[in-house]
Amino acid sequence: MKQDFRMTYPLWNMAFILILAVMAVGFTSSFVNVTKTDSSLSIEAQAFEGFVLFAALIAYLVLITIYLIALGSYNRKNPQRKISAFSIRPPEYMEQDEGMTFITRKAVQKVYTFITWSLPFLAVIVMLAPVPKLLIIWGILAIAFGQNLIYYLEMRRQLKGATE
Amino acid sequence: MLRNRVKELRARYGFTQSELGKKVDVTRQTIAFIEKGEFSPSITLALKLAQALQVEVGDLFWLEEE
């Protein structure tokens, strides 16, 4: 189960979210000018912010390449339980039988409870305080990071308890 | 609370959790959850387990008042 890609999927999500958080620094900086037309997108940036943005974009591309290689490897080893890279349904649900469905549901319930409280909390903060755009993006990404962390830790705890 | 004798009977027959899981078409983890009492199986799975362990369902699972 430790080698199961579905188990480690939230960790991949968390890594992507961290890179997005760094990328947001570059995109929201006043030193970065993004011009978008119907056919093109041009980005002008100052030295540091430009470097941060460029490094984050490269890191994202590298990570997505590693992710696709790992996913392809998993799919070759598990032809009966292939994961699509472009599926709308999150692949981390482990529902191959009723026991696994039960623990997936428990983890999802924890995530739902977290989202129920954290999203309105973030909305109230943004409404009441003059929060910069970067912090709003970081807030949203922190919630996304949190939901993946909660899901991963709960599934790991449940599966760790199921030792023979 | 639902109690069971799955672990005891599995040991009597010398099955591992994986082997019993294969017999009733579930994962080893699901057998572990049932043995620990963390998960109450469906009627279908309870019947399959009883059949695999050669007992009546009532002898395998019972309710204990809390």
Beta-bridge mates of residue A32: A45
Give which of A47, A62, A156 is closest to A104, Cα–Cα: A156
ipTM: 0.87
Contact A27, A53 (CB under 8 A): yes
Å between B33 CA and nearest CA of chain A: 6
- Mutation pick from A98, A156, A158, A160 vs chain B, by most beta carbons of B within 10 Å, is A98
Residue type (1 letter), B52: A
pLDDT digits (tens, 9 = 90+) for A6-57: 999 999 999 999 999 999 987 777 666 667 777 777 766 677 777 888 899 9
**Residue appearing with tokens 């460029």:** A54
Report the residue from A97, A98, A162 with minimal CB separation from B32: A162
Distance from the A83 Cα atom to the nearest Cα atom in chain B, whole angstroms:
19
Per-residue model confidence (pLDDT) at position A1: 65
A102-141 per-position pLDDT tens digit: 999 999 999 999 999 999 999 999 999 988 999 999 999 9
State the Cα–Cα distance between residues B55 and B48, nearest whole angstrom.
10
Q: Does B25 contact A97 at a Cβ distance shorter than 8 Å?
A: yes
Cβ–Cβ gap A97/B18 under 8 Å: no
For residue B27 the two structure tokens come to 């994962």
- Strand, helix or coil for residue B55: coil
Residue pLDDT, tens place only, A66-112: 999 999 999 999 888 888 888 888 989 999 899 999 999 999 999 99
Q: How far is CA A34 from CA A3, A17, A44, A94, A128, in A?
A: 41, 21, 6, 41, 28
Per CB-CB distance under 8 Å, the chain B contacts of A102 are: 33, 39
By C-alpha distance, the chain A residue nearest B24 is A97
